[in-house]
Structure 1
Amino acid sequence: VSGLLAGALWVGLAGALRAYRGVSETISSLLLNYVGIAILNHLVEGALRDPASLNKPSTAPIGAENALGNLPGVEVHWGLGYGVLACALCYVLMHRTTFGFAAAMSGGNVRAALLAGLPVRRLLVITCMLAGACAGLAGMVEVAAVHGRANASLVSGYGYTGILVAFIARHNPLAIMPVALLLGGIGASGGLVQRAAQLPDATVSVLQGILFLAILASEALYGRIRLTRAPRVPQAEPASAVA
């Protein structure tokens, strides 16, 4: 609950800046990342630091009783289940409720939404808070299921990968699940590629970049390039020639 609330308030700040000051939520949220990282480092190396963590400043361990276990029968923690549940709930919210329709309308055409009498500012802030809650849930899973404590290892750039996932999935919560598994598998294969193919670890980042550029190119060139020629329609002969 704390992770959900903290994420909602943090990203809700970016939504409020967009709604009331006209600041781009993309730029403000990216810049807020650096503020959040600075606050995390300050707390981890200061008030919340575990005295036993000498070489790598960290908070005190959360303990086995507070950690997330694995799903029954598999070596995968409950974070996967939380992610699937969050995607399903977001799909129902955005595609099966009036709130989702209003939010989509506000995001697609602000002027039309205002003419329809929709509370665009409130919808924007609430949508950002919901997105932040999902990010906070992911951060909670990272601490409770992977690291067991908070430290600098939490800053791993998952948010930038999330932008790529959302773009490829066309903002469809159900499509996010297979796309996230695909890109997660690509990211996890860095060590294997380095050992088996003697390639640098940055090859994974290059592959993700190529994938992103391919998606952008497909969006820009869709309908403009034809692989086959259109059949030529025979023209009717003039009436004078027939006579």
Structure 2
Amino acid sequence: MLAVPLMALAAAGAGAAWIGAVGALRAYRGVNETIASLLMSYIAIALSNHLIEGLLRDAGSLNKPSTWPIGEAFAVGPMPGLEVHWGLGIGVLACLAAYGLTERTTIGFAARIAGGNVRAAQIQGLPVGRLVVGFTALGGACAALAGFFEVAAVHGNANASLNAGFGYTGILVAFLARHNPLAILPVAFLLGGIEASNGLIQRRMQLPDATVLVLEGLLFLVVLVSETLYGRFKLFSPHLWAEKRGAAS
């Protein structure tokens, strides 16, 4: 009974330590967290592939190297009455918890100040280093839990196909959601639906497999351009829309 929770805790701990190191580099050495996390991802992928194809490889996996199956006793089943596994429910709860942490607690308020203006946070005497390391470690733990559910609820083992670029999609989701934990839910469902329809689009509409990537890129580009133009031209000016709302009322 305790095996699955212990597996989840081990995954979360490993993810927190791995990405917490990125936060430490950012807080104490000034290393850009985006570059550091990308480089750490390459190291993690190489280490994972080395273990999958070497020490942990199932001897029966010839064409597609993978680890030994975890077994039914350690697998995560679907939620009661639904055909989706517990990862979806945990993800929704994580978004709600993140919103409560960042918007309704003192430490969340301090983290938002440190993230928006490090100098102002230092002047206020906030522990910027600990905040950066703590919140990056928390993000790494959540990402590792997602990987845990991919293994324990979807595949049943670890293989090279687990490296499917989920991290890059996550960056796009966070950007489109404007870093709002509650907005992440609909945006994630939208992009998840788009990616899940990739095969259907190829078969029904005879489009190339890069169509979904192009569509996601266009979404990103439209939002980026709208933010760039917002306030620079009369059509995109916030004062114009405020005047229109005032006139309508």
Give the TM-score normalised by the residue count of structure 1: 0.92
Mapped pair 1:98 → 2:106: yes
CA drift at 1:183: 0.3
Mapped pair 1:121 → 2:129: yes
Structure 1 residue ranges (4+ consecutive) displaced by more than 3 angstroms after TM superposition: 227-230
CA drift at 1:227: 3.8
- Map of 1:194 onto structure 2: 202
Mapped pair 1:41 → 2:78: no
CA drift at 1:228: 9.8
For residues 235 and 110 of structure 2, the distance between their equivalents in structure 1, rounded to whole angstroms, comes to 39
Structure 1 range deviating more: 64-73 or 149-158: 64-73
Give the TM-score normalised by the residue count of structure 2: 0.90
Q: Per-residue CA shift, 1:181-235, capped at 9, x if unaligned? A: 00000011111111111101110000000000000001000122334997xxxxx
CA drift at 1:47: 1.1
- Map of 1:20 onto structure 2: 28
Mapped pair 1:180 → 2:185: no
Contact 2:58 2:68 in 1 (8 A): yes
- Map of 1:56 onto structure 2: 64
Gaps in structure 2 of 5+ consecutive residues: 1-8, 241-249
Contact 2:22 2:33 in 1 (8 A): yes
Contact 2:229 2:236 in 1 (8 A): no
- Map of 1:133 onto structure 2: 141
For residues 173 and 3 of structure 1, the distance between their equivalents in structure 2, rounded to whole angstroms, comes to 22
Mapped pair 1:210 → 2:218: yes
Gaps in structure 1 of 5+ consecutive residues: 231-243
Written as runs of structure 1 = structure 2, the 5 A alignment for 1:156-175 is 156-175=164-183
Match of 2:39 among 31, 47, 53: 31
Match of 1:4 among 6, 12, 17: 12
- Map of 1:239 onto structure 2: none
For residues 113 and 231 of structure 2, the distance between their equivalents in structure 1, rounded to whole angstroms, comes to 26
For residues 93 and 224 of structure 2, the distance between their equivalents in structure 1, rounded to whole angstroms, comes to 29
Question: 1:84 corresponds to which letter in structure 2?
Answer: V
For residues 43 and 88 of structure 1, the distance between their equivalents in structure 2, rounded to whole angstroms, comes to 35
Q: Per-residue CA shift, 1:84-105, capped at 9, x if unaligned? A: 0111111111111111000000
CA drift at 1:176: 0.4
Q: State the identity %.
A: 67
CA drift at 1:72: 1.7
For residues 204 and 35 of structure 2, the distance between their equivalents in structure 1, rounded to whole angstroms, comes to 39
Specify the structure having the higher radius of gyration (Cα): 1
CA drift at 1:71: 1.6
For residues 116 and 232 of structure 2, the distance between their equivalents in structure 1, rounded to whole angstroms, comes to 24
Quote the RMSD (CA, aligned, Å).
Answer: 1.4
